[in-house]
Amino acid sequence: MTEVKQERIDVARIRAHSEEMDRTRAVPQNLLDYLIEEKLFKLFVPEQLGGRMLGLPEALSVFRHVSHSDGNAGWLTTIGSGGGMFVPNMTEDTAHELFSPASAVIAGSGFPAGTAVPAEGGYRVSGEWKYCSGAPYASMFTANSTIEGTDTIRSMTLMPDQVEVLGDWNAFGLRATGSHSIRVTDAFVPENRTFSIFEQQNAFSGPVHSFPFVAFSVASFTAVCLGIADHFYEEARSLAEEKWPGADRQAFVLGELEQHEREHGKQAASFESNVRDAWTRHLAGEAMTAEEEQHLIRTAKTAAGTARSGVQSAIRHFGMDAVMEQSPLNRIWRDLSTAAQHTFLLPEPAGS
């Protein structure tokens, strides 16, 4: 497997666009070109199709590092790479066709919000799906649909000219992720562009593709939250040192930040250790038990929740500076608050 080294991530280049992305709610083309050049949307795509095929721990490190650079870039890297999990489910010819281009990236939704009517050679698909991150630049869309007259759900692969992007992503954070709803009206999808996530149709899979999907997803979004929190503490320390040089207030705030960051680091380290252990067992061919999967998920959610709650407490120390939208601290806080709201990271009932 090819390792993406952290030093390849150009933090300064990404952050140079942070204010613009937050203001315009869009990813500038030159930053998108950079993400494509570094194959950050292809971390789980096989090398035969121009990808990097990373292991899960290595990919989570990339997600965290890019998110530390900027929350929007980290989220889009994570979502874009996640689309590579579907490569083994497609026919070999379709996988070659859709994933070989350098700019290949999926947007879409796993919620079965569409209806697929059987037609000669395929299906006629209609529906509307929410929260399709990366929709403005996706080279393809996947949308789960129920086959009319059955309980069967099948994933439909649609081309951009078949999809209407509704432009309704008006969230207060992660503004540039383009997580818009999409609408499809009576679009024909040939059979060879449909698939089931439970069926492998080619030999392109790597170890990550057989890792439990829910645990994979929770871990991926946790890595985003950890990276954004890393950035917050970095920015907060810098602001405290600039705002209160040599004052008692500075010492107090830095001490508070240290406490929050220490707990953040502790929970992040526990999460990453659990991922490494689970991955080692996975590579050895050991099936993950339900109890082991739930333990990994709980560890991940604890780390993400600690990142969110620590930042929420820490930002209180910065007064009015923290409420202005143009403030970097405010932007980072908004991005983390938004990322942590993903359904995979919601708190679970006690005892679950």
Domain range for 154 is 106-195
Residue 117: predicted pLDDT = 98
How many CA atoms lie within 13 Å of 350's alpha carbon, on the beta-carbon side?
0
- In order, the DSSP letters of 23-73 are HHTS--HHHHHHHHHTTTT-TTS-GGGT-----HHHHHHHHHHHHHH-HHH
The answer on 230 and 177 residing in a single domain is no
Q: Could you tell me if residue 246 is inside a domain?
A: yes
Task: Report whether pLDDT(5) > 50.
Answer: no
Q: Hunting for tokens 């497997």 — which residue is that? A: 1
Please name the residues in contact with 232: beta carbons below 8 A apart, sequence gap of 6 or more.
Answer: 311, 314, 315, 329, 332, 333, 336
Question: Cβ(97)–Cβ(40) under 8 Å?
Answer: no
Q: Could you tell me if residue 215 is inside a domain?
A: yes
> Could you give the CA distance from residue 15 to residue 17 in angstroms, rounded to a whole number?
5
Task: Report whether pLDDT(167) > 60.
Answer: yes
The answer on 251 and 225 residing in a single domain is yes
In one-letter notation, the amino acid at residue 313 is S
Q: Could you tell me if residue 111 is inside a domain?
A: yes
The answer on 111 and 63 residing in a single domain is no
The answer on 313 and 234 residing in a single domain is yes
The answer on 236 and 297 residing in a single domain is yes
Single residue among 163, 195, 227 that ends a domain in this structure: 195
Q: Could you tell me if residue 201 is inside a domain?
A: no
Residue 352: predicted pLDDT = 59
3-state secondary structure of 326: coil
Arithmetic mean of pLDDT over the chain: 95
The answer on 324 and 244 residing in a single domain is yes
Write out pLDDT tens, residues 301-342: 999 999 999 999 999 999 998 999 999 999 999 999 999 999
In one-letter notation, the amino acid at residue 68 is H
**Number of structural domains the chain divides into:** 3
Q: Could you tell me if residue 154 is inside a domain?
A: yes
Confidence bin at 246 (pLDDT 50/70/90): confident
Q: Could you tell me if residue 153 is inside a domain?
A: yes
3-state secondary structure of 170: coil
Q: Could you tell me if residue 270 is inside a domain?
A: yes
Average pLDDT over residues 61-89: 97
Q: Could you tell me if residue 140 is inside a domain?
A: yes
CATH of the domain at 221: 1.20.140.10
Average pLDDT over residues 206-220: 97
Task: Report whether pLDDT(4) > 70.
Answer: no
Average pLDDT over residues 262-291: 98
What's the distance, CA 321 to chain centroid?
Answer: 29
The answer on 225 and 171 residing in a single domain is no
> Could you give the CA distance from residue 63 to residue 84 in angstroms, rounded to a whole number?
14
Residue 116: predicted pLDDT = 98
Residue 247: predicted pLDDT = 85
The answer on 227 and 182 residing in a single domain is no
CATH of the domain at 28: 1.10.540.10
> Could you give the CA distance from residue 171 to residue 93 in angstroms, rounded to a whole number?
38
Q: At what angle do helices 328-339 and 213-243 cross, to 10 degrees?
A: 160
Residue 351: predicted pLDDT = 62
Q: Hunting for tokens 């939250």 — which residue is that? A: 225
Task: Report whether pLDDT(2) > 80.
Answer: no
Residue 286: predicted pLDDT = 97
CATH of the domain at 163: 2.40.110.10
The answer on 319 and 245 residing in a single domain is yes
The answer on 333 and 220 residing in a single domain is yes
Number of helices (H), then strands (E), in the chain: 10, 7
In one-letter notation, the amino acid at residue 183 is R
Instruction: Give me the percent of the chain exceeding a pLDDT of 70.
Output: 97
Confidence bin at 87 (pLDDT 50/70/90): very high
Element (H, E) at 10: none
Task: Report whether pLDDT(350) > 80.
Answer: no
The answer on 270 and 191 residing in a single domain is no
Nearest CA to 118 among 189, 30, 13, 47?
Answer: 189
Question: Cβ(229)–Cβ(65) under 8 Å?
Answer: no
The answer on 183 and 242 residing in a single domain is no
> Could you give the CA distance from residue 201 to residue 233 in angstroms, rounded to a whole number?
45
Helices within 159-247 (DSSP H only): 213-243
Single residue among 35, 61, 88 that ends a domain in this structure: 88
Question: Cβ(99)–Cβ(49) under 8 Å?
Answer: yes
Write out pLDDT tens, residues 130-140: 999 999 999 99
> Could you give the CA distance from residue 224 to residue 336 in angstroms, rounded to a whole number?
8
What's the distance, CA 254 to chain centroid?
Answer: 31
